Amino acid sequence: MSLTMRPGPLSGSPGDAVNYTIQGPEHLLFMHDFPRRVRAVFAGETVLDTDRGRLLHETGLLPVLYVPEEDVRTDLLERTDRTTHCPFKGDAAYWTLRAGDRESENAVWAYPEPKAESAWLRGLMAFYWNRVDAWFDEDEEVRGHLRDPYHRVDARESSRHVRVLLKGEVVAETDRPKVLSETGLPNRFYIPAEDVRRDLLTRSEKRTVCPYKGEATYWSLDGAEDAAWSYEEPLENALKVRGHLCFLHDAITVETGR
Protein backbone atom coordinates (compact mmCIF):
# COMPACT_ATOMS: atom_id res chain seq x y z
CA MET A 1 0.00 0.00 0.00
CA SER A 2 2.81 2.39 0.80
CA LEU A 3 4.29 1.96 -2.67
CA THR A 4 1.14 2.22 -4.76
CA MET A 5 -1.08 4.61 -2.78
CA ARG A 6 -0.36 8.34 -2.47
CA PRO A 7 2.27 9.51 -1.57
CA GLY A 8 4.08 6.27 -2.40
CA PRO A 9 6.63 6.31 -5.24
CA LEU A 10 4.46 4.09 -7.46
CA SER A 11 1.19 5.93 -6.75
CA GLY A 12 1.40 8.21 -9.78
CA SER A 13 1.41 11.28 -7.48
CA PRO A 14 4.31 10.93 -5.05
CA GLY A 15 4.37 14.65 -4.20
CA ASP A 16 6.84 17.45 -4.79
CA ALA A 17 9.48 16.66 -2.16
CA VAL A 18 11.49 14.25 -4.32
CA ASN A 19 14.69 14.61 -6.32
CA TYR A 20 13.77 12.09 -9.00
CA THR A 21 11.32 11.42 -11.77
CA ILE A 22 10.10 7.99 -12.81
CA GLN A 23 10.47 7.48 -16.54
CA GLY A 24 7.64 5.25 -17.65
CA PRO A 25 3.87 4.94 -17.88
CA GLU A 26 1.61 6.60 -15.32
CA HIS A 27 0.40 3.13 -14.35
CA LEU A 28 3.34 1.25 -12.83
CA LEU A 29 3.94 -2.42 -12.05
CA PHE A 30 6.49 -3.77 -9.59
CA MET A 31 6.82 -7.46 -8.71
CA HIS A 32 9.02 -9.08 -6.11
CA ASP A 33 9.35 -12.39 -4.29
CA PHE A 34 7.11 -12.99 -1.29
CA PRO A 35 9.40 -14.35 1.44
CA ARG A 36 7.24 -17.05 3.04
CA ARG A 37 5.18 -20.15 2.22
CA VAL A 38 1.53 -19.43 1.34
CA ARG A 39 -1.38 -21.87 1.13
CA ALA A 40 -5.03 -21.52 0.12
CA VAL A 41 -7.78 -23.97 1.14
CA PHE A 42 -11.15 -24.54 -0.52
CA ALA A 43 -13.72 -27.22 0.44
CA GLY A 44 -11.10 -28.96 2.55
CA GLU A 45 -8.55 -29.13 -0.29
CA THR A 46 -5.26 -27.27 -0.37
CA VAL A 47 -5.60 -25.66 -3.79
CA LEU A 48 -2.41 -23.58 -3.65
CA ASP A 49 0.81 -24.33 -1.81
CA THR A 50 3.89 -22.31 -2.66
CA ASP A 51 7.12 -20.89 -1.33
CA ARG A 52 7.70 -19.22 -4.70
CA GLY A 53 4.95 -16.62 -4.56
CA ARG A 54 5.48 -13.19 -6.08
CA LEU A 55 3.74 -10.01 -4.97
CA LEU A 56 2.60 -7.61 -7.71
CA HIS A 57 2.29 -3.94 -6.75
CA GLU A 58 0.22 -1.90 -9.20
CA THR A 59 -0.58 1.82 -9.12
CA GLY A 60 -3.70 2.49 -7.05
CA LEU A 61 -4.27 -1.16 -6.13
CA LEU A 62 -3.51 -3.46 -3.24
CA PRO A 63 -0.72 -5.97 -3.91
CA VAL A 64 -1.74 -9.30 -5.47
CA LEU A 65 -0.02 -12.64 -4.97
CA TYR A 66 0.90 -14.56 -8.12
CA VAL A 67 2.19 -18.13 -7.90
CA PRO A 68 3.72 -20.62 -10.35
CA GLU A 69 1.15 -22.81 -12.10
CA GLU A 70 3.06 -25.86 -10.81
CA ASP A 71 2.11 -24.89 -7.24
CA VAL A 72 -1.64 -24.83 -8.00
CA ARG A 73 -4.03 -27.83 -8.01
CA THR A 74 -4.84 -27.37 -11.68
CA ASP A 75 -6.79 -30.66 -11.63
CA LEU A 76 -9.45 -28.73 -9.68
CA LEU A 77 -9.64 -25.93 -12.26
CA GLU A 78 -11.93 -25.62 -15.29
CA ARG A 79 -11.27 -22.93 -17.90
CA THR A 80 -14.23 -20.60 -18.48
CA ASP A 81 -15.21 -18.27 -21.32
CA ARG A 82 -14.47 -15.15 -19.27
CA THR A 83 -11.67 -12.86 -20.44
CA THR A 84 -10.64 -9.36 -19.47
CA HIS A 85 -8.11 -6.96 -20.96
CA CYS A 86 -5.54 -4.96 -19.01
CA PRO A 87 -3.63 -2.39 -21.10
CA PHE A 88 -0.58 -2.96 -18.92
CA LYS A 89 -0.60 -6.75 -18.50
CA GLY A 90 -2.55 -8.19 -21.42
CA ASP A 91 -5.56 -10.50 -21.79
CA ALA A 92 -6.50 -12.50 -18.69
CA ALA A 93 -8.00 -15.99 -18.79
CA TYR A 94 -10.14 -17.34 -15.95
CA TRP A 95 -10.81 -20.67 -14.28
CA THR A 96 -13.58 -21.94 -12.00
CA LEU A 97 -12.42 -23.84 -8.92
CA ARG A 98 -14.25 -27.11 -8.14
CA ALA A 99 -13.73 -29.36 -5.13
CA GLY A 100 -16.19 -31.93 -3.84
CA ASP A 101 -19.70 -30.57 -4.37
CA ARG A 102 -18.61 -26.92 -4.28
CA GLU A 103 -17.44 -24.51 -6.92
CA SER A 104 -16.05 -20.98 -6.97
CA GLU A 105 -16.72 -19.36 -10.31
CA ASN A 106 -13.88 -17.52 -12.06
CA ALA A 107 -11.83 -17.69 -8.86
CA VAL A 108 -8.46 -17.92 -10.63
CA TRP A 109 -6.88 -15.89 -13.40
CA ALA A 110 -3.67 -15.73 -15.37
CA TYR A 111 -2.08 -14.00 -18.37
CA PRO A 112 -1.14 -16.85 -20.75
CA GLU A 113 0.34 -14.39 -23.27
CA PRO A 114 1.23 -11.26 -21.28
CA LYS A 115 2.37 -8.05 -22.89
CA ALA A 116 6.09 -7.88 -23.59
CA GLU A 117 6.71 -5.35 -20.82
CA SER A 118 5.16 -7.69 -18.24
CA ALA A 119 6.42 -10.98 -19.68
CA TRP A 120 7.39 -12.11 -16.16
CA LEU A 121 3.69 -12.88 -15.56
CA ARG A 122 3.88 -15.85 -17.92
CA GLY A 123 3.32 -19.12 -16.07
CA LEU A 124 1.90 -17.45 -12.97
CA MET A 125 -1.66 -17.66 -11.60
CA ALA A 126 -3.59 -15.57 -9.08
CA PHE A 127 -6.62 -16.29 -6.86
CA TYR A 128 -9.35 -13.89 -5.76
CA TRP A 129 -8.78 -13.65 -2.04
CA ASN A 130 -12.43 -14.04 -1.02
CA ARG A 131 -13.24 -16.95 -3.33
CA VAL A 132 -11.50 -19.59 -1.26
CA ASP A 133 -12.18 -20.56 2.35
CA ALA A 134 -8.88 -19.81 4.05
CA TRP A 135 -5.37 -18.49 3.47
CA PHE A 136 -2.23 -19.31 5.45
CA ASP A 137 1.01 -17.36 5.72
CA GLU A 138 3.28 -20.19 6.90
CA ASP A 139 0.99 -21.78 9.54
CA GLU A 140 -0.90 -18.65 10.55
CA GLU A 141 -4.32 -18.06 9.04
CA VAL A 142 -4.57 -14.69 7.31
CA ARG A 143 -7.73 -12.61 7.15
CA GLY A 144 -8.28 -9.62 4.89
CA HIS A 145 -5.29 -10.04 2.58
CA LEU A 146 -1.59 -10.79 2.73
CA ARG A 147 0.41 -8.13 4.52
CA ASP A 148 2.30 -5.75 2.30
CA PRO A 149 5.95 -5.74 3.46
CA TYR A 150 6.07 -1.99 2.72
CA HIS A 151 3.13 -1.22 5.03
CA ARG A 152 3.76 -0.40 8.71
CA VAL A 153 1.69 -0.06 11.87
CA ASP A 154 3.30 1.61 14.91
CA ALA A 155 1.57 2.20 18.25
CA ARG A 156 3.13 4.58 20.76
CA GLU A 157 2.47 5.75 24.33
CA SER A 158 1.45 9.43 24.48
CA SER A 159 0.64 12.15 27.00
CA ARG A 160 -1.35 14.28 24.56
CA HIS A 161 -4.66 15.60 25.81
CA VAL A 162 -7.50 14.16 23.70
CA ARG A 163 -11.20 15.02 23.94
CA VAL A 164 -14.02 13.44 21.95
CA LEU A 165 -17.25 15.42 21.65
CA LEU A 166 -20.67 14.71 20.19
CA LYS A 167 -22.95 17.75 19.92
CA GLY A 168 -20.84 19.52 22.52
CA GLU A 169 -21.05 16.68 25.05
CA VAL A 170 -17.78 15.07 26.14
CA VAL A 171 -17.81 11.39 25.24
CA ALA A 172 -14.18 10.64 26.12
CA GLU A 173 -11.25 12.56 27.60
CA THR A 174 -7.73 11.38 28.39
CA ASP A 175 -4.10 12.36 28.90
CA ARG A 176 -2.86 8.82 28.22
CA PRO A 177 -3.92 7.86 24.69
CA LYS A 178 -2.09 5.53 22.38
CA VAL A 179 -1.14 7.03 19.02
CA LEU A 180 -1.37 4.56 16.16
CA SER A 181 0.41 5.47 12.93
CA GLU A 182 -0.35 3.41 9.84
CA THR A 183 1.17 3.83 6.41
CA GLY A 184 -0.92 6.09 4.18
CA LEU A 185 -3.46 6.96 6.92
CA PRO A 186 -3.78 9.81 9.45
CA ASN A 187 -2.73 9.14 13.04
CA ARG A 188 -5.50 7.60 15.14
CA PHE A 189 -5.84 8.20 18.88
CA TYR A 190 -6.91 5.18 20.95
CA ILE A 191 -8.40 6.03 24.35
CA PRO A 192 -8.37 3.74 27.42
CA ALA A 193 -11.82 2.32 28.09
CA GLU A 194 -11.78 3.84 31.60
CA ASP A 195 -11.61 7.32 30.04
CA VAL A 196 -14.68 6.79 27.84
CA ARG A 197 -18.34 7.39 28.76
CA ARG A 198 -19.25 3.76 28.21
CA ASP A 199 -22.85 4.47 29.30
CA LEU A 200 -23.28 6.43 26.05
CA LEU A 201 -22.11 3.54 23.84
CA THR A 202 -24.16 0.74 22.34
CA ARG A 203 -22.36 -2.28 20.93
CA SER A 204 -22.85 -2.60 17.18
CA GLU A 205 -23.10 -5.73 15.07
CA LYS A 206 -20.47 -4.37 12.68
CA ARG A 207 -17.10 -6.12 12.49
CA THR A 208 -14.17 -5.42 10.18
CA VAL A 209 -10.85 -7.16 9.67
CA CYS A 210 -7.51 -5.45 9.16
CA PRO A 211 -4.63 -7.76 8.17
CA TYR A 212 -2.25 -5.51 10.14
CA LYS A 213 -4.29 -4.89 13.32
CA GLY A 214 -6.88 -7.67 13.60
CA GLU A 215 -10.66 -7.79 14.00
CA ALA A 216 -12.39 -4.59 15.09
CA THR A 217 -15.52 -4.41 17.22
CA TYR A 218 -17.74 -1.31 16.85
CA TRP A 219 -19.94 0.85 19.07
CA SER A 220 -22.56 3.46 18.24
CA LEU A 221 -23.58 6.68 19.93
CA ASP A 222 -26.95 8.40 19.77
CA GLY A 223 -26.96 9.92 16.28
CA ALA A 224 -23.56 8.50 15.35
CA GLU A 225 -23.69 4.90 14.16
CA ASP A 226 -20.52 2.81 14.37
CA ALA A 227 -18.65 5.84 15.68
CA ALA A 228 -16.06 3.95 17.75
CA TRP A 229 -14.09 0.76 17.38
CA SER A 230 -11.55 -1.27 19.29
CA TYR A 231 -9.34 -4.33 18.89
CA GLU A 232 -10.00 -6.80 21.70
CA GLU A 233 -7.41 -9.29 20.42
CA PRO A 234 -5.11 -7.25 18.19
CA LEU A 235 -2.28 -8.62 16.10
CA GLU A 236 1.29 -8.13 17.28
CA ASN A 237 1.89 -4.68 15.80
CA ALA A 238 -1.20 -3.23 17.52
CA LEU A 239 -0.94 -4.91 20.93
CA LYS A 240 -0.59 -1.55 22.72
CA VAL A 241 -4.12 -0.51 21.68
CA ARG A 242 -5.80 -3.64 23.05
CA GLY A 243 -9.15 -2.68 24.58
CA HIS A 244 -8.73 1.03 23.73
CA LEU A 245 -11.38 2.88 21.74
CA CYS A 246 -10.89 5.04 18.67
CA PHE A 247 -13.51 7.49 17.39
CA LEU A 248 -14.26 8.64 13.86
CA HIS A 249 -17.59 9.97 12.55
CA ASP A 250 -18.85 13.11 10.78
CA ALA A 251 -20.92 13.99 13.87
CA ILE A 252 -17.94 13.69 16.22
CA THR A 253 -15.16 16.16 16.98
CA VAL A 254 -11.80 14.86 18.20
CA GLU A 255 -9.65 17.54 19.84
CA THR A 256 -5.96 16.85 20.40
CA GLY A 257 -3.31 18.85 22.24
CA ARG A 258 0.47 18.55 22.27
* Domain coordinates in residue numbering, the chain: 29-142, 153-256
Per-residue pLDDT of the chain (258 residues; tens, 9 = 90+): 578 877 788 877 777 788 877 777 778 899 999 999 999 999 999 999 999 999 999 998 889 999 999 999 999 999 999 999 999 999 999 999 999 999 999 999 999 999 999 999 999 999 999 999 999 999 999 988 999 999 999 999 999 999 999 999 999 999 999 999 999 899 999 999 999 999 999 999 999 999 999 999 999 999 899 999 999 999 999 999 999 999 999 999 999 988
Enter the CATH code of domain 29-142.
2.170.150.40
pLDDT of residue 258: 80
Q: Is the dihedral of CA 196, 198, 199, 203 positive or negative?
A: positive
b vs e for 13-47, b when ≥16 Cβ sit within 10 Å of the residue's Cβ? ebeeeeeeeeeeeeebbebeebeeebbbbbbebeb
CA quadruple 54, 60, 62, 63: dihedral, nearest 10: 10
Q: Are strands 153-157 and 178-182 parallel, antiparallel or unpaired?
A: antiparallel
pLDDT of 8 reads 81
Equal CATH topology for 29-142 and 153-256: yes
Task: Select from 32, 62, 65 the least CA-distant residue to 49.
Answer: 65
The strand pairing partners of 77, in sequence order, are 97
How far is the CA of 57 from the CAs of 30, 54, 62, 150, in angstroms? 5, 10, 7, 10
Would residue 168 be called left, alpha or beta, if left means φ above 0 and alpha means ψ between -120 and 50 degrees?
left
Rounded distance between C-alpha atoms, residue 75 and residue 252, angstroms:
54
What is the architecture, at CATH level 2, of domain 153-256? Beta Complex (2.170)
By DSSP bridging, strand 162-166 and strand 252-256 are antiparallel
Output the pLDDT for position 139: 97
